Each structure stands twice: as structure tokens, then as C-alpha cells.
Structure 1
């Protein structure tokens, strides 16, 4: 056993393979290639003198020795990272953190949160991706994202979550369309986010309780586009209040009276249970303290 030739990057790579499940996902997380990850693991096996993986169908699975090494090294690397942060705190932290968020979070809590984060962790590079909740959760599970701000309930054994409040939904149209709708004129088009969005479910429930014809429903996967369509007189829709404050204040959009009440959309921040890096844990803990009710005032 050539333990003196085992480097930290060997062990870090092994831990990311265990956390994310595949060599390719670990390679993406470590900003390298799958052949490089495979080479590191061959080197580690040679230097430890024991196999760490065996082929399980079309995938590679950890051997008993590999699982023991992961279990023993995970807390050691975490303690080392904490020790290295000890002198300068998180202001000296570095690396890349990938944050995923839906449009509503991006328009409410995310800008101020990111600004504070960059002020406290200037050397941590942030990569932010805006997407639908279903995609955000999949990206989180596969390691393409580290932290996610997502709508609706999140229940998965590989993820830990914390609620960060609710966002109010409102019926809106431009003044002319709202007046025509109130006067009982021809039914205007109705717009909703796509079927895998929590707002779509709210829209379906509201349509069932209203005089709106189901055939009037149109779908769009971009809330900002829907807002622009409504402003242009293209129909009515349900919108998250944080995204339309400016339009309401300017009178470009108005609330539609006598429409069914809408349940708010709950939001959570999520990360993988297996991630124990101090920087990720610190960011998650900060995000868990957010309150969308305070942001929305």
C-alpha cells in the first residue's frame, strides 16, 4: 500500500462518485472529464492495493472496501475543509456553487440573497440557472445543481429541504381586457404556466370554480412571457404577485374582481443529504432563514 502517494483529489473524487452515483456526474461536478475520473480511481485502487468498485450491470458500484473508505474519509475531509476555513472564515472560501431557482424565486428572494452571499463569500463563484421545479429537482439529484429554490412540496429521501414561505397568486389582465371580462363580453384567452408547474394546478382548480370555459386555457412555460402577453391585451392569467408589482403599480395590469380565491404557492430550499461540504451547508443554512413573506412586503 502506497498511502503516501494518495492525494486529496483521489479521495474527493471518490466521495463525489458516491454522492452522485456515476463517474460522469462526478466528472461534471469536479469540472473534469470522465476518463480523468476513471484514471484517478485506478490510481487510488493501485495505491491502496484493493479494488474499490465492481461492475453492477451497466454501472460501477462500490465494493465493501470502497464503502468503508467513503465512510471513514467523509468526516475527515469535512473537518479538513473546516480547518482551512478557520483562519479567514467563509470570506476565504473558494470554489463553484451551482444554484437553481424558479422564475418566482428569481424575482423575489434570490437577488438580495445572492448579493449578500457574494459580499460574504467573494471568492466563491456562483452559477445560477433558472428553470421549472421538476427540472430543478432532477438537476439537484444528478449533481448538476448544488442548491435549489423550488415551488411546491419536495419529498425525496436523497434531499433535505427547508420551507421559506409562500407566494400569493393574483388574477390579472390589462385594464381594457379586465373591463370587457367584467362586462360579460366574449371570453378572453386565459394563460397558465405549463402542466408541471404548481401554478397550473391552481389555474385548473380556479377554472373549475369559475365561469371561465376550459377551452380558453393556453399554456406557456415562461411567466415573464405570460405577463407580457397580458400587458399587450392577449388575455387574463394567474400570476405570482412578486413578479407583477411593477405592472400593478404602473396600472399596466389590474386585478380581476369576483374571481375564485387562489391558494398560495409554497417554496422550499433544497440540497442533497450526502453533501457535507461546509460552504454548501453554510449557504443552505442561510437560505433556510429566508422568509418570502418579508421579501414580499
Structure 2
């Protein structure tokens, strides 16, 4: 009789495209994976996978079986939720998070997940959006909260929030209280996101369009460091005002306007739908809800 574990193994091989990668995902050995697939093919008396130098590929019968396996695994999740409730749905989710989200509503998301799905274990990685997108497509993280969307393959991208960049200055910076110009800002270092990020190049383009070529852009991969440098009076930060809401409220920092339309950071919860990993879509859905609640505050 074909057991569920064997079907899961077949599904992971089909998703990863290789026995070695499937073994890594399943925390087992490649021979063990090969043995399960061989047993499945023997029981069904059909060839399910073809191997070549590039990996493993489903045969026509393999693609047919995959549809049934996906339905079986979805039904298993439905059964667990119906019988055991949310407490019965457990597992580990590798969550990749942009630092902007860390400084805004990530704590609310973690509280909500802990309350509603206490059996979920989260492993959190904080990184830049480009690195998170790569990690998601390579399978080293399951869900990414990042500047999206991720356009690789059949990735699902749920919209989260839009944060425009603002000019954030320390209270003691010698700038007039009324509207300032971009040229006024070039007297100070502009502290912003890392060089390979979208907002960095958008800011550079903004200054170039204004024919201001002597601007000093201080690229920084750490948002915490950008905030600290701004508080210390080193320069003007080009970051979302949401990440420094507390400092704005205390008067340590303030927002200045130049009249120019600023780049907008659009965040998504990106993931790949997997029948064997229902937690991916659950975490992404709740992230979307928390982001919406935070935006209305």
C-alpha cells in the first residue's frame, strides 16, 4: 500500500527537481529518497520521473500523479484544521523580513501568529530585499516580506503596504522651517539604503534630473545605522517616516518637504504555494492583515 510519506517524497522531488535537493528538504539521504521513488514506481507499475544531467523531470504519468498528490495533501491539511484546529497545524517557517518591516509592524505579526498558531516555529532572517528574493527562489526561506514583487516562476505576491521615502533631519540641523529645496539638502550627506537597492538608484535619479551632481549619497545596508547616524546629526536620511515615528513624536527628528514626488517602497508577502507547506500562505495572509491594520492606525 502506498503511504503518505512516500507521496510526500514524490511531491518534494517534483517541486525541487532533484533527488539530492529533495533529500535536503526532507532531512534524509539521497538513497532513501531514491528508494521511496523506486518503491512508488514499482507499486504503480509506471515510470514517474526521468533523470538527466540537469536533474529529475516528471513523465506524463508523473504529472498526472502530482495532481492527485496535491489534492491528498490539501485534504490532509483540511482534516487537521477540522479535527485539531489551529493547534494541530504546526511546523517551521523560515521567514525573511526587510528591516523596514522590523521597525514598523513585525512585532504585531509575531504576536498574532503566536496567538493564533501556537504550534508554528518561526526562523527569522533580516536582510535586504534583493537578498531575500534570491533566498526565496533558492528555497532557503519560505516567506519573504520585502520590496516586491518577486517575479520568479509562479511566486505569489500579496500586497502589504506602501511607504514613501521622506527627508528626515535631526532637530538641530540648520535648515529653514519652511519648504527646502533639493539643492539645500546637498549641503549635507544624504543617508539612505544600500547601493544595490531600488530606493538608492531612484534617489540618485531624482538628484540627476534636478541637475544636482555633487550630492553625497551615504549608502548603508543597516536601517538601524541610518537612524543612528541621523540622530547623531551626520546628515539627512531618505527613509520612510514610519520607521522613526517615535523619534518624530519626541521632536528628536523632523520631516522636511522639497515639493518633489518621492520614491515609494511597495512591500509584498511573497511565497510559493506548496501543498506540503500550508503554513506559507497562512503566514503571508496574516502578514497582509497586520499590515493593513497598521496602515489604518
Please tell me whether residue 187 in structure 1 is matched to residue 183 in structure 2.
no
Superposition deviation, residue 272 in structure 1:
0.9
Please tell me whether residue 207 in structure 1 is matched to residue 222 in structure 2.
no
Deviating more after overlay: 231-240 vs 186-195: 186-195
| 1:54–1:61 Cα contact (<8 Å) kept | yes
TM-score, normalising length: structure 1: 0.84
| 1:176–1:233 Cα contact (<8 Å) kept | yes
- Which residue of 1 is the match for residue 22 of structure 2? 26
| 1:242–1:296 Cα contact (<8 Å) kept | no
TM-score, normalising length: structure 2: 0.84
Please tell me whether residue 86 in structure 1 is matched to residue 82 in structure 2.
yes
Match of 1:164 among 160, 165, 171: 160
| 1:97–1:125 Cα contact (<8 Å) kept | yes
Equivalence map 1:1-297=2 (5 Å): 4=1, 6-179=2-175, 187-210=187-210, 213-258=213-258, 260-275=260-275, 277-292=277-292, 294-295=294-295, 297=297
Alpha carbon RMSD of aligned pairs, Å? 3.0
From the superposition, tell whether residues 85 and 248 of structure 1 become closer, same or farther in structure 2 (CA, over 3 Å).
same
Structure 2: stretches of 5+ with no match in the other structure: none
From the superposition, tell whether residues 113 and 49 of structure 1 become closer, same or farther in structure 2 (CA, over 3 Å).
same
Aligned partners of 1:279, 1:185: CA distance in 2, in Å?
46
| 1:194–1:219 Cα contact (<8 Å) kept | yes
| 1:91–1:122 Cα contact (<8 Å) kept | yes
Aligned partners of 1:186, 1:121: CA distance in 2, in Å?
49
| 1:140–1:147 Cα contact (<8 Å) kept | yes
From the superposition, tell whether residues 187 and 67 of structure 1 become closer, same or farther in structure 2 (CA, over 3 Å).
same
| SS of aligned partner of 2:175 | helix
